[in-house]
Chains A and B, each alone.
Chain A
Amino acid sequence: EAGVTQFPSHSVIEKGQTVTLRCDPISGHDNLYWYRRVMGKEIKFLLHFVKESKQDESGMPNNRFLAERTGGTYSTLKVQPAELEDSGVYFCASSQVGGRTGVETQYFGPGTRLLVL
């Protein structure tokens, strides 16, 4: 079974440009999450989709970030315009609630390393 995939693996852009990150979750996983790790800091939650609906977007830093999950499959995270402080590693994770126990395991993708110059 394929894991969570993310594209691109690396992106270097200039301040003011637009970047779109893509995440393909594990097939069948309704939950999709975006996280970000800024250098030297902890991984921080950005938002959570259940299928195509945004369940929780409390971690989105500002309105320069737009996440979509049309059709409830893959998701995109667009940063427009990018600022220097947006540099970091953007992780995507997916999960499916585990049956009777309700236990949920989030599987992470390899991340997209974004550098804004």
Chain B
Amino acid sequence: QKEVEQNSGPLSVPEGAIASLNCTYSDRVSQSFFWYRQYSGKSPELIMSIYSNGDKEDGRFTAQLNKASQYVSLLIRDSQPSDSATYLCALGFQKLVFGTGTRLLVSP
């Protein structure tokens, strides 16, 4: 079993819809969780971090963490074509453990 599991996608949503990206993990002691966005050929860019159970909102992005169920999700509201990218779930402190990423395609 991988430490961090993500559906590779692609996840296709129409412009303006909500994109929901999910991630499950196996390490129960993890305290820090991150969502990175990576455009093709570019560096991963941190878009959200979450450390406690519940929701954390930042603009169109909402991260949700449920430590009991060991999952973390990312919601993107009002999806735009520019959101089309690979979204990487990561966890850990300093030594980050990544999932393989979910490719999101937002169609105009």
A33 to chain B, nearest CB (A): 8
Which listed residue (B43, B94, B95, B100) contacts A91, Cβ 8 A? B43
Q: Tell me the residues in window 63-95 of chain B with beta carbons closer than 8 Å to chain A beta carbons.
A: 88, 90, 93-95
Q: How large is the interface on A (under 10, 10 to 19, 20 to 34, 35 or more residues)?
A: 20 to 34
A-B contact pairs, 18 of them (CB 8 A): A31-B94, A35-B98, A42-B4, A43-B44, A44-B98, A45-B95, A45-B96, A45-B97, A48-B94, A58-B95, A59-B95, A95-B94, A103-B32, A103-B51, A104-B94, A105-B46, A108-B43, A108-B44
B49 to chain A, nearest CB (A): 7
Let me know if A111 is at the binding interface, CB within 8 A: yes
Asked if A108 and B45 sit within 8 Å, CB to CB, the answer is yes
Please provide the 4 A-B residue pairs with the shortest distance between their CB atoms, ordered closest to farther. A108-B43, A43-B98, A42-B100, A42-B98
Chain B interface secondary structure, helix, strand, loop or mixed?
loop
B103 to chain A, nearest CB (A): 13
Chain A interface secondary structure, helix, strand, loop or mixed?
strand
A34 vs B96: C-alpha distance in the bound complex, in angstroms?
11
A91 to chain B, nearest CB (A): 7
B24 to chain A, nearest CB (A): 14
A88 vs B14: C-alpha distance in the bound complex, in angstroms?
33
A106 vs B91: C-alpha distance in the bound complex, in angstroms?
12
